[in-house]
Chain A
Amino acid sequence: AQKITQTQPGMFVQEKEAVTLDCTYDTSDPSYGLFWYKQPSSGEMIFLIYQGSYDQQNATEGRYSLNFQKARKSANLVISASQLGDSAMYFCAMTHHFGNEKLTFGTGTRLTIIP
């Protein structure tokens, strides 16, 4: 069974600082994908970044990067130069590439950016 753990219920970060949101996962499948989603107060799910288990390099999308440490089974999201608009809930999620068709979510981290 796949499991996603996010141990930080909430974080407060000063504007313009970098922030790291933690995510660890548990799977015995060698082929899987990891996602980060942002959920602002308006409620929609916004895709941020994806990392495949066989990808050689860490994924980056603008100010977002994914610190993928396969041996540790961690997939931390790094947001550089945080902005007030980054205040939101952030979810880590995982899917397997064969067989299991589901996307499994962690419990989320509420990030608040302080001006």
Chain B
Amino acid sequence: NAGVTQTPKFRILKIGQSMTLQCTQDMNHNYMYWYRQDPGMGLKLIYYSVGAGITDKGEVPNGYNVSRSTTEDFPLRLELAAPSQTSVYFCASRDRDRRVWFFGPGTRLTVL
């Protein structure tokens, strides 16, 4: 199993540009999550999904959109990038056992 994979690893965007952060897991997990981590801070939940076709907002959803058309993929869309979205983005997944969470390696995004 590859676990949770994220692409790209790094990206620099200009203000107003759009991009999609990709997240894929090969463990057949129903639950998937997007977090952002600002410098020196903890992780904050952006969006999450409890299964294909079901998504919900987390703590900091503004400026982002998600979709979940398959169990494996949970892409995060930034429509109009702003400097405040400069952060490291982590995707995570888990199965029904809430004790075991899998995190991707993160995507470092800079908006200039």
Contacts and interface: CB of A to CB of B under 8 A. Distances in A.
Contacts of B99: 33, 50, 52
B98 A105 contact: no
A102 to B, nearest CB: 6
A106 interface: yes
Contacts, number: 47
B42 A106 contact: yes
Interface stretch (A39-47, A62-70, A73-81): A39-47
Interface stretch (B18-26, B61-69, B73-81, B100-108): B100-108
- Most chain B CB within 10 A, of A4, A50, A110, is at A50
B48 A102 contact: yes
Interface in B19-62: 31, 33, 35, 40-45, 48, 50, 58
A8 to B, nearest CB: 13
Nearest to A52: B99
A18 interface: no
A95 interface: yes
Given A43-B88, A102-B33, 8 more contacts: A4-B42, A35-B101, A43-B108, A45-B43, A103-B33, A103-B92, A105-B44, A108-B42
Interface of A: 4, 6, 33, 35, 43-45, 47, 50, 52, 91, 95, 97, 101-108, 110
Closest 5 CB pairs of A and B: A105-B42, A45-B103, A105-B43, A107-B42, A50-B99
Interface of B: 31, 33, 35, 40-45, 48, 50, 58, 88, 90, 92, 98-101, 103, 105-106, 108
15 contacts: A33-B98, A44-B106, A45-B92, A47-B101, A91-B43, A95-B98, A101-B31, A102-B33, A102-B45, A103-B33, A103-B45, A103-B101, A107-B41, A108-B41, A110-B40
